[in-house]
Structure 1
Amino acid sequence: MAVLHLKGKEVDESIFGLISIRFKIDKAEKHFIVDLSMSVCMESQEECQFHHNFYDNRLIPIPICNSDMDFSLKDFSMKNWLKDVGHLSDESLPLSVVALLLSQLKLDRFLQDPPCKFSDSLYTSQISGWSSDCSASLTLPTLPENIVCHIPDYCTGIDCCVNIDMLRTTIHVKFLLDTCTYRLTIGIERFERVIILLDYDWGQTKHIYLGGALRIDYNIDDIKSENKFILNVQLSVCFEQTECIFKTNILKDVYIPKPLCSWNPGSLIEGYNLTDWMNDFNFVFDGDSLKDYMIDVLFRELGIAAYLQDVQCNRADAPFSGSLNGLISDCATQLDVGLIPDFMTCYISDSCKSFNCCVDVDFAKWSFNIYAYIDECTHTLSIGIEKFHLTVSLLEYIWGTEEEFSLFGVIRIRGSIVNLETERQYIVNLKISICMKSATCDEEVDLLTDARLPKSGCSGNDNFSDFSLQSYLESQGHTLQDISEQLPRKLADKLLEKLGVLAFLGENGCKNMPQYADNAISECEKFHFTTAIPDLMTCKIHSYCTAIDCCIDIPLIGRSVNVTVDLNACGYSLLITVGKFKSKTSLLNYNFGEWNTLSVVDVFRIEYNIEDLKSSKEFILSVKISVCFDSTTCVLESTVLEQAVLPQQKCEFVGNFQIPGK
């Protein structure tokens, strides 16, 4: 504990005035930085007879602490221990026995003074054990009478006070999740652990034990598509190897909304300038670079140390080796890439929408990995610098808007995307800034300027190539008895997230769509349904005749999904929507009479065949819809239109712009 209190301070300890030990301990992300010297001085007014510097800014790796600390007494049992100290009852221990117990278990050093109280202002307005400053509507469990908890205004944390009658005291615990920096802070009394969740395996149960007796078990699921976390937190107090005097689920499958985070959190050092910063620490360059301990301190102060890769990228290794003018490209389309400086190499994948760059910052002896990827099938943009990354839905993005993403202002990515639906292209601008020497940035690289990236389309069956619904559900502890059963909400959401389709589905779907006789209705006077619509569906032909709108109820996931196929005779285009997913295709180069398939990550498949009868101004439309959760498990496979003859609406060309106000 001394390290925690003396961090960064020089301490001089003397033994009888003869031996002087001087030390200073500072802490970076993965190392202690240690100065240690000793002097032996036989005369107080004369020069010391012996002096030696053992460590001079020595980097000592911080050991990985065991988060599963067992009892300090081997094979500890409260019942046996009480017998040993001559106390037979464990209902309410005398204070002297409690003090001895906590001392022998080495828990006393962690206890707060004073302890938390139910009357503390944080907990006074509690209802069912909860007080909250969170504005979101949360479904919380009723807590036992011996625990009160507070939820802060940012919603992703809890702060609790637990009364332990047997110990005649309270225990303060906290579980605070910073969703913007992916830092989890867990505290039990004065003991605190900060965990970077970028390496956390989402959905796995982890725990923090203090002295074997005080335990927090937690489980976090990241539902990116809905911008939520699902939290499970269990608190236990145990004084036997297999029994606990107290155990409760503080949070059980609670959906917590993520607060809005800035893509660009900015520098932690206001007005950062490397020269001024080095002067503040009395640092000087060692040749052209900083010394290792200086780099550790710099990365710590900039806030980036926890987000660096375990192994830095290397421009001499794949996929960067063999570059020409700093570029390796497997893209078949010739892209107009800007001038790449000699400290940087970039790779463009064969999809033409994935960029991976390695940037050398020589004075800091580090190479930063920067990457961006547009997934047109899931409509997402993934962007990252080292371990710090973000995946955003392009369904919510305002096309053409310039955004900036940064690693605490040190490395910055700025860019914009325009979606050319008809041309099946993206127009992308991408700029990378290196700001290691100052907040105003010392290097800027225009990697892409109005570059046209081709859309390659989404091929079917790729998503299901190695996926089994039954195996996945069993891995989550659930056995599927029948495809018509409804999964628990959490499991259904995790399944949809795993398949990459959750982002396209709203929570309410189309459940408000009216029910019709025979599950279908036609508002088009010249068309009547001849195909049988299954009970899972309700379909409607619109009054202008060339669009079918279906609502599909999917019991397995507890959701309904709207699917439309809309032929625009005037704009000569086809629009297909599945929930929030939209695909618009021009019919100018369409091969009429052939079957085509639109796949939404293989779960939803829309097969369609169109014929254009120009002489009679009619379309002949056939549509099949299937909903599957692996290559062999489908909840729906239905033909909704078969050789349906649909009259084309009359078109009035008045010469106005299609864009209002233009």
Structure 2
Amino acid sequence: MNIDPLDGPVRCYINGHCSSIDCCVYDEKILTSLNLFINIDSCNDVIDGGIEKYKFSKSLLEFDWKSEHEIYLGGIYQLNFQLEELPGSNNYIISMEISICWDSEAACDYRITVLENNILAKENCDWKRPLLKPDFSMTKWKTENGFQANTSLDGQSLTDLLEELGVSNFAIDDLPNDKMYIVSMNVSVCFEANSTCEDDIVNVLNNVLLPKQQCRYSEDFVVEDFSLTKWMSNRNITRTDELQEYMLYQILEELDALSFLSEYSCDRSREPWGPTNDGWIKECSTFVMLPYLNSRETTCIIMDTCTGIKCCVEAPSLGRSFDFSFELDACNFQLTIRIEKFVYNESLVNYVYGTHHQFYLKGIFLIEYTVDELSSSEYILSVSLGVCLESSEPNCIVKQVVADKVSLPKPSCDWNQGFRIQNFSLEDWTRIRGEDLTNLTELAVLQVSSDLGISKFFKKPSCVRNGIFYQPENFGWKRDCPVSTELPELHPGMTCVLLPSCTEVDCCIDADMFHHSFNLVLKLDPCDEKLIIGIENFVFEISLYEFDWGVSKKLYLNSVIRME
């Protein structure tokens, strides 16, 4: 917290939680020191204040934010304060003034501004209670439930732990690739400390699938026709002035973007951002041709993956720099955008390459990008970054092109991947969740597919073995190849097509347990010298110019579906 030094006969103390300001003022007329204080209890939603023993207490639920509040003692001693809540960042803006006035018709004997538009962090509230099981052991619990001691818990496993400890009245599991949440919720009213109050628990939701709403990342502000110029003019702030920190907080709170702001601004003069001569820090070991950046505004890092860029963009008029990143994960088929604390993931499965995108966060932070896939080993990337606070053109106070058709080398991917969950066993997974291994519910299929990281690659709809593409078949094969070829008899739950090129095989395998059929493809193209292999939408293209002929290869979809 940045505070100015105090002059005169006053000393103040701010406690470690940044929630209490306690001042001692010496009155020379009566040779006595007086205590003036404000205490904000954000956990119990109460504010206390007072002068000596004259005190007041008020609920923050009914508090008049932004208005000036006054406390008088005998008309002589005065404590004025103003408090503004910033729920988006868990902070307050506070101003506080102390006065001593012995003559109502003359200037005050003493007046000092203790705080002026300072940012005050809310206290972190401790909602914990003692364990319901005093002898609980995390190590023992993990062993009994089939988890390795060093395994991180997430998703359903974390929900199970919280329920075991009795600290979960609601549970939410995320199915990002299915764009769904799994929600459970219990409600109870309990007046006995030594009781679980099980008889009073009402089950509201039990593993209910709730669809996620479609998010819009457009250029529209939450406040219609917002203008930084107009905002500053209304407050008599010169447009050329640098905004103070609290002003930026107010603007971002008004535009519903303050919750995304990182606690600390990136600093282009310090590591990892600087120093640099051309605006770039190069962590990629491969040479990449990068454009010169305006060092007065933006510094970027080409990441060690060589397919990611992160930048620190300075907006001098806002008195702040902002952190952006754009990452392409070629092996996990994912695009990730980060703006300060905000994270957005988009699947590259079925991605339409070469399309221009404008991504706005609350209309303020802009990432414009185009991703082209030039070959199986190269992306072509164009990216522009902006900070925009005007509804009319030019709407961005900062805009910088950081990549213009830059060639980025794709990494080599490990196709022989193990299970996403170490030592995974479907039998153990179903036992822990009380599921029937031989008859999984739709919810269980969604959960296990998400936990194993394979659901995002599922084709919708799945292939159909009895459909016209795979029929008629003989011993599992449909032969469209005009050349006579000896083919093995296939498993009853599998049908394959040998296509007319005679160098392409397309298979459909039923997995009744998953209520899904999986499509596997192998295509050799001797004309373009390339091999295409895939499991569902987990597809790779390989050049045959440097191919290891005669060597056995493996393609595993997170070890669940395997192709050799």
**Which stretch shows the higher mean deviation, 374-383 or 511-520?**
511-520
Q: Does 1:64 align with 2:18?
A: no
Q: Distance in 2 between matches of 1:472 and 1:9?
A: 62
237 and 536 in structure 1: CA distance in 2 versus 1, 3 angstrom threshold: farther
Check the 8 A contact 2:465/2:494 in 1, yes or no: no
Q: Distance in 2 between matches of 1:463 and 1:313?
A: 37
Give the secondary structure class of the aligned counterpart of 1:295. Answer: helix
Q: Does 1:239 align with 2:194?
A: no
Deviation at 1:375, TM superposition (A): 1.3
Check the 8 A contact 2:350/2:537 in 1, yes or no: no
Q: Distance in 2 between matches of 1:247 and 1:560?
A: 41
Spell out the pairing of 1:299-338 with structure 2 (5 A cutoff).
299-315=252-268, 318-338=271-291
Check the 8 A contact 1:205/1:217 in 2, yes or no: no
Give the secondary structure class of the aligned counterpart of 1:299. Answer: helix
Check the 8 A contact 2:315/2:398 in 1, yes or no: no
Return the match for 2:494 from 537, 543, 554.
537
1:11 is aligned to 69
Return the match for 2:213 from 259, 279, 285.
259
How many residues are matched? 468
Return the match for 2:519 from 537, 562, 569.
562
Deviation at 1:400, TM superposition (A): 1.3
Give the secondary structure class of the aligned counterpart of 1:6. Answer: coil
Check the 8 A contact 2:284/2:303 in 1, yes or no: yes
22 and 245 in structure 1: CA distance in 2 versus 1, 3 angstrom threshold: farther
Deviation at 1:63, TM superposition (A): 1.4
Spell out the pairing of 1:85-164 with structure 2 (5 A cutoff).
none
2:93 is aligned to 33
Q: Which amino acid aligns with 1:428?
A: L
Give the secondary structure class of the aligned counterpart of 2:540. Answer: strand
Q: Distance in 1 between matches of 2:395 and 2:543?
A: 46
Give the secondary structure class of the aligned counterpart of 1:456. Answer: coil
Q: Does 1:371 align with 2:325?
A: yes
443 and 463 in structure 1: CA distance in 2 versus 1, 3 angstrom threshold: farther
Percent identity, aligned pairs only, is: 25
Q: Distance in 2 between matches of 1:356 and 1:476?
A: 44
Q: Does 1:449 align with 2:404?
A: yes
Q: Does 1:522 align with 2:479?
A: yes
2:3 is aligned to none
Q: Distance in 1 between matches of 2:275 and 2:561?
A: 42
Return the match for 2:177 from 211, 225, 245.
225
Q: Distance in 2 between matches of 1:347 and 1:584?
A: 29
Deviation at 1:498, TM superposition (A): 4.2
2:383 is aligned to 430
Deviation at 1:8, TM superposition (A): 1.0
CA deviation map 1:137-176 (0-9, x unaligned): xxxxxxxxxxxxxxxxxxxxxxxxxxxxxxxxxxxxxxxx
2:55 is aligned to none
CA deviation map 1:591-649 (0-9, x unaligned): 65444444445544433xxxxxxxxxxxxxxxxxxxxxxxxxxxxxxxxxxxxxxxxxx
Q: Distance in 2 between matches of 1:266 and 1:221?
A: 31
Spell out the pairing of 1:613-628 with structure 2 (5 A cutoff).
none
**Which stretch shows the higher mean deviation, 16-25 or 496-505?**
16-25
255 and 480 in structure 1: CA distance in 2 versus 1, 3 angstrom threshold: closer
Give the secondary structure class of the aligned counterpart of 2:246. Answer: helix
Q: Does 1:297 align with 2:250?
A: yes
Deviation at 1:10, TM superposition (A): 2.1
Deviation at 1:433, TM superposition (A): 1.6
Q: Does 1:383 align with 2:441?
A: no
Deviation at 1:415, TM superposition (A): 0.8
Check the 8 A contact 1:11/1:23 in 2, yes or no: yes
Return the match for 2:354 from 393, 400, 403.
400
1:102 is aligned to none
Q: Distance in 2 between matches of 1:503 and 1:295?
A: 39
Return the match for 1:350 from 288, 304, 318.
304
448 and 469 in structure 1: CA distance in 2 versus 1, 3 angstrom threshold: same
Q: Which amino acid aligns with 2:204?
A: I
Deviation at 1:563, TM superposition (A): 0.9
CA deviation map 1:440-481 (0-9, x unaligned): 113322111112222233123455598321499669944999
Deviation at 1:389, TM superposition (A): 1.6
Deviation at 1:489, TM superposition (A): 4.2
537 and 312 in structure 1: CA distance in 2 versus 1, 3 angstrom threshold: farther
Check the 8 A contact 2:219/2:364 in 1, yes or no: no
Q: Distance in 2 between matches of 1:236 and 1:371?
A: 44
CA deviation map 1:517-561 (0-9, x unaligned): 644443546446543423443333345543322222335544321
In structure 2, stretches of 5+ residues that fail to align are 1-58, 131-152, 161-166
Q: Distance in 2 between matches of 1:488 and 1:314?
A: 51
Check the 8 A contact 1:470/1:480 in 2, yes or no: no
Deviation at 1:281, TM superposition (A): 3.3
Q: Does 1:580 align with 2:537?
A: yes
Q: Distance in 2 between matches of 1:59 and 1:592?
A: 65
Q: Distance in 1 between matches of 2:279 and 2:90?
A: 32
Q: Distance in 1 between matches of 2:110 and 2:266?
A: 46
1:143 is aligned to none
Check the 8 A contact 1:37/1:55 in 2, yes or no: yes
Give the secondary structure class of the aligned counterpart of 1:237. Answer: coil
Q: Distance in 2 between matches of 1:337 and 1:22?
A: 55
Check the 8 A contact 1:486/1:556 in 2, yes or no: yes
CA deviation map 1:167-216 (0-9, x unaligned): xxxxxxxxxxxxxxxxxxxxxxxxxxxxxxxxx9766559xxxxxxxx98
Q: Which amino acid aligns with 2:90?
A: K
Deviation at 1:402, TM superposition (A): 0.8
Q: Distance in 2 between matches of 1:512 and 1:462?
A: 28
Q: Distance in 1 between matches of 2:183 and 2:332?
A: 25
Check the 8 A contact 1:435/1:442 in 2, yes or no: yes
Deviation at 1:67, TM superposition (A): 4.8
479 and 462 in structure 1: CA distance in 2 versus 1, 3 angstrom threshold: farther
Q: Distance in 1 between matches of 2:103 and 2:427?
A: 76
Check the 8 A contact 2:506/2:519 in 1, yes or no: yes
Q: Distance in 2 between matches of 1:419 and 1:526?
A: 35
Q: Distance in 2 between matches of 1:336 and 1:536?
A: 51
Give the secondary structure class of the aligned counterpart of 1:225. Answer: coil
What is the CA RMSD across the aligned residues, in angstroms? 4.1
Q: Distance in 1 between matches of 2:249 and 2:558?
A: 44
Q: Distance in 2 between matches of 1:313 and 1:412?
A: 17
Check the 8 A contact 1:278/1:284 in 2, yes or no: yes
Q: Distance in 2 between matches of 1:470 and 1:347?
A: 41
**TM-score, normalized by length of structure 2?**
0.70
Check the 8 A contact 2:416/2:555 in 1, yes or no: no
CA deviation map 1:275-314 (0-9, x unaligned): 43233234569x9743333333233234332112244434
400 and 526 in structure 1: CA distance in 2 versus 1, 3 angstrom threshold: closer
Q: Which amino acid aligns with 2:299?
A: T
CA deviation map 1:209-268 (0-9, x unaligned): xxxxxx983322222222222222222222323215542332222222222222335433
Deviation at 1:408, TM superposition (A): 2.2
Check the 8 A contact 1:238/1:244 in 2, yes or no: no
**TM-score, normalized by length of structure 1?**
0.61
